[in-house]
Amino acid sequence: MTKSYDQVCALAREVSIINSSASVLSWDQETYMPDRGLGHRAHQLAYLTGKAHELATGKKFRTRLEKAEKEKRAFDSKEAANLREWRKELERAVRIPKNLVEEESEATSHGKAAWVEARKKSDYALFAPHLEKLLGIARKKAELWGYEGEPYDALLAGYEKGASTREIDKLFSALKPELTQIARGAVEASKGVSPTALRGKYPIEKQQLLNREIAESLGFDFEAGRIDTTAHPFCTTLGAGDVRLTTRYDERDFTSSLFGVLHEAGHGMYEQGLLQEDFGLPSGTAVSLGIHESQSRLWENHVGRSRPFWEKWLPRAAEIFPHLKKVTLDEFLRSIWKAEFSFIRVEADEATYDLHILLRFGLERRLVDGSLKVKDVPQAWNDGFEELFGMRPPDDARGCLQDIHWSMGGLGYFATYTLGNLNAAQLFAAAKKQRKIGDSLARADYAPLLKWLREMVHAKGSLIMPRELIRSATGREIQPKWHLTHLRERFL
Amino acid sequence: MTKSYDQVCALAREVSIINSSASVLSWDQETYMPDRGLGHRAHQLAYLTGKAHELATGKKFRTRLEKAEKEKRAFDSKEAANLREWRKELERAVRIPKNLVEEESEATSHGKAAWVEARKKSDYALFAPHLEKLLGIARKKAELWGYEGEPYDALLAGYEKGASTREIDKLFSALKPELTQIARGAVEASKGVSPTALRGKYPIEKQQLLNREIAESLGFDFEAGRIDTTAHPFCTTLGAGDVRLTTRYDERDFTSSLFGVLHEAGHGMYEQGLLQEDFGLPSGTAVSLGIHESQSRLWENHVGRSRPFWEKWLPRAAEIFPHLKKVTLDEFLRSIWKAEFSFIRVEADEATYDLHILLRFGLERRLVDGSLKVKDVPQAWNDGFEELFGMRPPDDARGCLQDIHWSMGGLGYFATYTLGNLNAAQLFAAAKKQRKIGDSLARADYAPLLKWLREMVHAKGSLIMPRELIRSATGREIQPKWHLTHLRERFL
């Protein structure tokens, strides 16, 4: 390492000190902050993120980066990879003028409030002008960033490095026919399963006991993390050695909080597996949302919804919740594998989830390229939904108003959910093949799987791009076939 | 207001945005942070406090302040008072060179660790060299700050604006003879009271229910605050509209967490009563530790340990903890009024508490003026303790090693605890006299008392100095007589 490289690192770490401080404040806002603290908290967050942005795009950083870039180093060195990532981030950041950042910040703040209201009243007209505004900003940003194929590429790149819209479209098109078939078959096969078979009294403290025991056994390190309660589960990193998960509780059904924890613990173990000494550098940072989601989905669905998993944990759950003693393993699995067509994405089961994403990806792409008008979204949504699910949303609250993403300017984000599912299946299949992970999982020993993921995924940070990461870990290009195989085996 | 005054305000608010962000991080560190987050959290806190200090002492702030000071304004205007406070703070801050700040930061970090170890092993020799170092730094700071009377004045000024060591010594000397008498009488009178009369099973959630109900009825605003659990109770403000209290629970005795909450809620209501729109300005900031402690002591002792209070709350407590039904009001009061001589300050009762402070104030003052050597502290402590309490600490863990303050460089702090008691008694007596607060308290209506404190104390922020604040609220100079009257009435 050279002095100028070290100086870039020092500034990057300074940026991450500020950003991770903001993460503490955001976490607190979601978990414990009293209502009247909101105004001041907004000032604090705006100030800190503004300072971090200033520092990350300022002259000092640019000069140091240029100096370090001029030095000779091996293309495949960590230093070279970090410098490339800083350059990419810088180029994206500096192309957006300050007034557009402010315009977007204001538009999302109003957009979110309008969306809450519109969803509550199921009145798309209340949200449409805000979506118009936010879409305009997103398109302007796409033009400023530039793209090779289509404007959606530029937005996508903010969430999934190195991905192209065309490739995702190809993947999703390959996925769609069989996925639709599997979903229909799964829904058909689940028809006899009572949706309330596991209903009972599950006191929150007992759920917390079980959730923690399971998360710990998977490998989530509670010396370097914790679980709290929020309206919507999430995972956030507040610093090296400090990863926070959240979940929510349904006192009639323990699986709701548990699968929330398994999902977030998957994200959390990725964060804990990053090089902690590189915290704040690209080499110590998760590479993309699609890879992040692969970790959560892998632990939630491939491990946490599997038969061997519940062979171990159903008896333990029944110790904590004695009425589960009368539920057989098969009955239990039928319950957690129950598939049905439903209007709301966040409540969707594994078999039907990706259909929700396919719909959104298509609509978003057309919104961004201008071939779909904002005013036509409800019609297009409902038509698309009917085609995929064979039923029509009764109102926009259960249709195009259900997700928060667009109201926050998050256009280009949805595809990463299904990318995550494809990545998860492909990684899990490779792990089982390469290391006979299946045997250890049958013994409820999760360490070998975590070790493999640590090596193949976590330790890479952002040193290699998602596509290359999947290729190097699995020996193949990303393909839908493992995900389809998994769904077929589980549901048909 | 003028443009240059506004510019000073803007910078001061910026400083407070950073400092209050650091407060969120510190609060999280005490309440929820996982162990392995400590290293990164230390970096975050050092960075933020460093930035705030830079900004508060930087050229920009100094230039703006000078400009604003040159303008004409009424001496008793809020603007003039704020400018005076900024000037005082700036003068103190700039006199301490950066290397001394760093030296102190390192010394306190080592000092605290050594103190933890020394206390555990009751081995003063482990702590003595650190105390030597910290005392040296404190004395150096006192010289740099300057003082009129003695070096202790300069340290005291950091905690109690406008106070002088001589005056405090005069107050404490006036207090001592009668206080000693009262304490002895109280201990004698309590001899028959069983220390375990209230022992029982008090589940934490039920304690939390009662604590919250009482804190709410006193006037603590839970829309702008909350209560969490820590090893040592404290109160901290994370921003306008966001005041956090903490307490700790003893499952065998509900009064431990409750009196902790009453004390901290007293601090918290002061913070909530400050002008929220002046958050970050002297006019919106608590003026001193002695005034802060008056608010906690007033609610904890004068209200919360009074007969009328428990006439209302004992029946309610007995609804929540049914075994209390067999405890009469008189038995209950005898229990919470039980006085005894004990070695540990933080466990001391109201009747004996100030004796602990008198001892510390005398020793600290002599350490700072050089007439007491660090190596002689244990002997001096034990001799002083024996004189006041009639018994000798069996070891230094229960003697001069019990308090954390010196290990953190907090010399000059202790006096404010007893100042708080004197202020509390004087304020409470004035409130009862001026507004017949006694009648409303008898009806368990706490709003008139809070209203009086809001007007007389909270709304003043740091616009007037502690001494003047007491004078304007009570019509008298600070005197020990109300505190002594209160103790006599309660304990003799």
ipTM of the complex: 0.93
The pLDDT value given to residue A2 = 76
The phi, psi pair for B275, rounded to 5°, reads -60, 110
Q: CA-CA distance, B142 to B155, in Å (whole number)?
A: 6
> Got the DSSP string for A459-475?
GGTTSS-HHHHHHHHHS
Q: Which regions in chain B score pLDDT beneath 50?
A: none
- pLDDT > 70? residue A1: no
What is the amino acid identity at position A456? M
- Of B14, B37, B241, nearest to A37 by CB-CB distance is B241
Are the beta carbons of B128 and B144 closer than 8 angstroms? Answer: no
| A232 and A188 Cβ atoms separated by less than 8 Å | no
> What was the pLDDT predicted at B243?
98
Beta-carbon contacts of residue A102 (< 8 Å; ≥ 6 apart): none
- CA dist B360 and B392 (Å) reads 15
Cα separation, A141 vs A151, whole angstroms = 9
DSSP B324: G
Q: Give the pLDDT score at A196.
A: 87
- State the residue for tokens 């309610």: B316
- pLDDT reported for residue B195: 85
Place of tokens 């760093």: B102
A453: closest CA among A240, A242, A272, A237?
Answer: A272
Compute the nearest-CA separation of B26 from chain A (Å).
Answer: 10
Q: Report pLDDT digits (tens) over B214-232.
A: 999 999 999 999 999 998 9
Q: What pLDDT score was predicted for residue B1? A: 64
- For A39, which of B17, B43, B240 is closest by C-beta distance? B240
Is the Cβ of B35 closer than 8 Å to some Cβ of chain A?
Answer: yes
* B415-435 vs B165-189: helix crossing angle, rounded to 10: 80
**Percent residues over pLDDT 90 in chain A:** 96
For the segment A153-171, what is each residue's pLDDT rounded down to a tens digit?
Answer: 999 999 999 999 999 999 9
Distance of alpha carbon A491 from alpha carbon B9, whole angstroms? 64
Q: Does B16 touch chain A (CB under 8 A)?
A: no
Least confident residue range of A94-98, A233-237, A417-421: A94-98
* Residue A226 dihedral angles phi and psi, to the nearest 5°: -160, 170
Q: Do B44 and A242 touch (CB under 8 A)?
A: no
* Nearest one of A290, A346, A352, A355 to A487, comparing CA atoms: A352
The pLDDT, as a whole number, for residue B216 is 98
Q: How many CA atoms lie within 13 A of B217 on its CB side?
A: 17
Window 213-232 of A: residues touching B by CB (8 A cutoff) are 221-226, 228
């006199």: which residue's tokens? B95
Q: Provide the Cα torsion B247, B251, B256, B258; round to 10°.
A: 60
CB spacing of A242 vs B20 below 8 angstroms: no
Q: How many CB atoms lie within 10 A of CB A326?
A: 8
Catalytic annotation present for B264: yes
SS3 of residue A236 by DSSP? strand
Token pair 């190809």 is at which residue? A170
Q: Residue A109: is its pLDDT beyond 90?
A: no
Question: How confident is the prediction for chain A on average, in pLDDT?
Answer: 96
Could you please report the per-residue DSSP string of A368-392? HHTSS-GGGHHHHHHHHHHHHHSS-
pLDDT recorded at residue B436: 86
Instruction: Name the catalytic one among A79, A104, A160, A264.
Output: A264
- For A292-334, how does the pLDDT look when each residue is reduced to its tens digit (9 = 90+)? 999 999 999 999 999 999 999 999 999 999 999 999 999 999 9
SS3 state of residue B246 = strand
DSSP per residue, B248-281: --BTTBHHHHHHHHHHHHHHHHHHHHS-GGGTTS
